[in-house]
Amino acid sequence: MIPRYSRPEMTRIWEPENRFRIWFEIEAHACDAQAEMGVIPHSAAKAVWEKGNFEVARIDEIERETRHDVIAFLTNLAEYVGPEARFVHQGMTSSDVLDTCLAVQLTQASDLLLSGLDRLLAALEKRAKEHKDTVCIGRSHGIHAEPTTFGLKLASHYAAFDRARQRMANARAEVSTCAISGAVGTYAAIDPYVEEHVAREMGLQREPISTQIIPRDRHAMFFATLGVVASSIENLATEIRHLQRTEVREAEEFFHAGQKGSSAMPHKRNPVLSENLTGLARTIRAAVNPALENVTLWHERDISHSSVERVFGPDTTIALDFALHRMAGVIENLLVYPEHMQANLDRLGGLVYSQRVLLALTQAGISREDAYRLVQQNAMKVWQQGGDFLSLLKADPEVSGKVDAETLDDCFDPGHHTKHVGNVFSRVFPD
């Protein structure tokens, strides 16, 4: 992923230093297990831990010759460990190291993503509670529907990211497995105990059955989950973009003093972070199809999945990590304009209370069809000529003949729409 969309915490996971560090730990733990079983001398395992080391530049140098990264690493390791290095990696295949390492990296990445979600959840909870009772218009189809509160809007997104957190935890569990089972998964040259030991030490589950590699339906599920999380980000980002539209302007991304919205038009204040998040969501979702295609490998493995993972393993986790923190920042600093919310709410002259009028008329004994017609014909006047819906209704004898003024007034009380906010909040934020 390009630096512009990267945080160092996540980038580090995918750097050679971390990868080789994990390889070293896998090999050293495997030596412990092999020594425990009497396959190699205890002194060898001890030497690996005590003298073992590596240097990225040196490994690169060796790899340019051998064209095999695991061999290059082992060669460099041997330069530090000395003759006892011949006991390292015994009975293992490259994939044992590579796939277990990928599992560790994806687990580390998952933990970072979970902490990004936590930051976003905290921001949403704080702002939701702050605006629990800030009334604004709810819209369906982009058209004013009925009042709601800005807190409910944010609580709704909080709930989405709460689900995202659970999905991400499931995805983490999917990919956190260790396999050290040899060329085609039969443990022909290495005892299953080694796998068991390394798994435990590396904080992974054992893969119950592997071929040469860990099965790729796990990774498909992982990347598909990232795609769903990205979509929830796009959903929230789109809400911000809508609210910041010039004609709506109920909320706005924070605008620094001195910031320039446009080089040509000095008046501009654009929701560029949210727009960027929309694009990043597309970028993250791009990995879903390749990951699904990666599941089908020939027999005990082919290597077609590898290039996909080399690209999208880092790119997708880095982009999602970046996006979560950018999204959290947008929410933390969001400028909210309750007075604009009220102005928009009033814009349709009370049309947004049409359902209550409809119910009042039907409760007064008018058939639903007739009631609908009465309310709609008054509503259409407001759409066409503006004006105050309540006054029109009161002036319409067909309406006022059935429902008295007090009842009509009550229909326009926004309190009906906010009375259950507490109930909902208690479900979304359960203490």
Which phi and psi (to 5°) does residue 430 adopt?
A: -70, 0
Could you tell me the smallest distance in angstroms from the CB atom of residue 63 to a second copy?
Answer: 11
Residue ranges in 49-68 that form contacts with a second copy under rule CB under 8 A = 68
Please tell me the distance from the alpha carbon of residue 100 to that of residue 5, in angstroms, as a whole number.
27
d(CA 9, CA 321): 9
SS3 category, 163: helix
Residue 133 contacts a second copy per CB under 8 A: no
Residues 145-204 touching a second copy, rule: CB under 8 A, are 145-148, 152, 155-156, 159-160, 163-164, 167, 170, 174, 182-189, 191-192
From residue 8 to residue 47, the character string flagging contacts with a second copy as x (rule: CB under 8 A) and all else as - is ----------------------------------------
Instruction: Indicate the residue type of 429.
Output: F
Task: Rank residues 50 and 65 by Cβ distance to a second copy and give the closer one.
Answer: 65
Is 51 or 310 the residue whose CB approaches a second copy more closely? 310
* 3-state DSSP of 78-97: HHHHCHHHHHCCCCCCHHHH
CB 214 within 8 A of CB 254: no
Binding mask 247-286 for a second copy (x = CB under 8 A): xx-----------xxxxxxxxxxxxx--xx-xxx-xx-xx
Interface residue with a second copy among 26, 40, 45, 70 (CB under 8 A) is 70
Among 15, 50, 130, 306, binds a second copy (CB under 8 A): 306
Which H/E stretch holds residue 139? strand 135-140
Provide the strand spans (E) within 176-302: 177-178, 205-206, 251-252
Q: Which of 8, 38, 57, 298 binds a second copy (CB under 8 A)?
A: 298
Per-residue binder mask for a second copy (CB under 8 A), 315-354, x = binder: x---x------------------------x--xx--xx-x
Beta strands 177-178; 205-206: pairing state = parallel
Local structure of 303: helix, strand or coil: coil
The rounded distance, in Å, linking the Cα atoms of 120 and 108 is 19
Residue 52 vs 290, nearer CB to a second copy: 290
Q: Which is nearer to a second copy, 123 or 155 (CB)?
A: 155
Task: List the interface residues with a second copy, window 351-410 (CB under 8 A).
Answer: 351-352, 354-359, 362, 368, 372, 375-376, 379, 382-383, 389
Q: What residues are labeled active site? A: 141, 262
Q: How far is the CB of 336 from a second copy (least distance, A)?
A: 15
Least separation in angstroms between residue 183's CB and a second copy is 5
H-helix or E-strand spanning residue 266:
none
How near is the Cβ of 190 to a second copy at its closest, in Å? Answer: 9
From the CB of 426, what's the least distance to a second copy, in Å?
A: 10
Q: Stretches 18-26, 40-48, 51-59, 292-300: which one binds a second copy (CB under 8 A)?
A: 292-300
Candidate list 8, 299, 385, 397; residue touching a second copy; CB under 8 A? 299
Smaller CB separation from a second copy, 138 or 338: 138
Cα(20)–Cα(323) distance, integer angstroms = 27
Least Å distance, CB 424 to a second copy, is 5
Least distance from C-beta 249 to a second copy, angstroms? 9
Query: Can you tell me which residue has the tokens 């396959």?
Result: 39
Which among 210, 190, 229 has a CA at the least distance from the CA of 102?
210
Q: How far is the CB of 22 from a second copy (least distance, A)?
A: 18
Q: How far apart are the first and last CA of the chain?
A: 39
Q: Both tokens of residue 176?
A: 């956190």
CA gap 155, 421 in Å, rounded? 10
Give CA–CA dist 312/226, Å, rounded: 11
Q: Which of residues 212-241 bind a second copy (CB under 8 A)?
A: 212, 215, 217-218, 220-221, 224-225, 227-228, 230-232, 234-235, 238-239, 241
Under the criterion CB under 8 A, does residue 117 sit at the interface with a second copy? no
Q: Given the structure tokens 């290039």, which residue do they identify?
A: 307
344 contact partners, CB below 8 Å, separation of at least 6: 136, 137, 144, 248, 250
Closer Cβ to a second copy, 53 or 363, answer by number? 363
What number of H helices and E strands is found in the chain? 20, 6
Per CB under 8 A, 138 contacts a second copy: yes
Query: Residues 83 to 112: which contact a second copy by CB under 8 A?
Result: 86, 90-94
Q: How many residues bind a second copy (CB under 8 A)?
A: 152
Q: DSSP class of residue 353?
A: G
Residue with tokens 């929230």: 236
